[in-house]
Amino acid sequence: MRVLGIDCGSQRTGYGVIESDGRDHRMVAAGVIRTNAKTPFEKRLLEIAGRLRELIRVHRPESAAVEGVFHSANAKTALKLAHVRGIALLVVAEAKVELAEYSPLEVKISVVGYGRAEKFQVQTMVTSLLGLAEAIDSEDACDALAVAICHATHQATARRLASPEPV
């Protein structure tokens, strides 16, 4: 299956596309949508929507995975992020791509096997699970790949549980 992971942020939105059977994962694309903080916010939302639509058009994912939104220490940042997240959910729904949401805890448990994993542990595991020669530089792209891997793993487990192979 092909999964688009999105890591929404008010200034940088990470994305990662993977091809996966739930056990073996391959990276198709990954990057960061950066917008200029000096550009009016609604124009930045327009830019993010355009880039996400393009990613879906080019990579044709079957599903998209995002992290749930949680109260941040910084309420203003959380509110800006929620605007961007609204855009991401809209674009996914418009493209009729299936949407899945996971908590940061679920993503870390799925990728690292430990819910309180540090950023660098997530990065190391994402790099390893995707069989990459070099670590993904961007934390945002890495987080997007992590949520995509989490979804691919969950989906494969759900399918196996639905139709178990004979012992």
Distance, CA of 94 to chain centre: 18
Determine how many CB atoms are found less than 10 A away from the CB of residue 37.
9
Site for its own copies in 92-151 (CB under 8 A): 92-94, 99
24 a catalytic residue: no
Residue 3 touches its own copies, criterion: CB under 8 A? no
Residue 82 touches its own copies, criterion: CB under 8 A? yes
Sheet containing strand 2-7, edge to edge, reads 25-34, 12-20, 2-7, 63-67, 98-102
Q: Is the CB of 100 or the CB of 142 nearer to its own copies?
A: 100
Query: With 0-12 CB in 10 A as exposed, 13-18 as middle and 19+ as buried, what is 53?
Result: middle
Residues 6+ apart with CB under 8 A from 90: 49
165 a catalytic residue: no
67 a catalytic residue: yes
Residue 38 touches its own copies, criterion: CB under 8 A? no
Q: Is the CB of 13 or the CB of 123 nearer to its own copies?
A: 13
**Among 15-23, 44-52, 110-118, 152-160, which window interacts with its own copies (CB under 8 A)?**
44-52
Residue 62 touches its own copies, criterion: CB under 8 A? no
Q: Please give the backbone phi and psi of residue 8, each rounded to the nearest 5 degrees, phi first.
A: -70, 140
Q: Is the CB of 69 or the CB of 109 nearer to its own copies?
A: 69
Among 23, 37, 71, 134, binds its own copies (CB under 8 A): 71
Determine how many CB atoms are found less than 10 A away from the CB of residue 108.
22
Selected catalytic residue, list 24, 47, 62, 67: 67
Question: How many DSSP H helices and E strands does the chain contain?
Answer: 5, 5
CB 17 within 8 A of CB 27: yes
Q: Which residues are catalytic?
A: 7, 67, 140
**Residues of this chain that bind its own copies (CB under 8 A):** 40-43, 45-46, 49, 69, 71, 75-76, 78-80, 82-87, 89-90, 92-94, 99
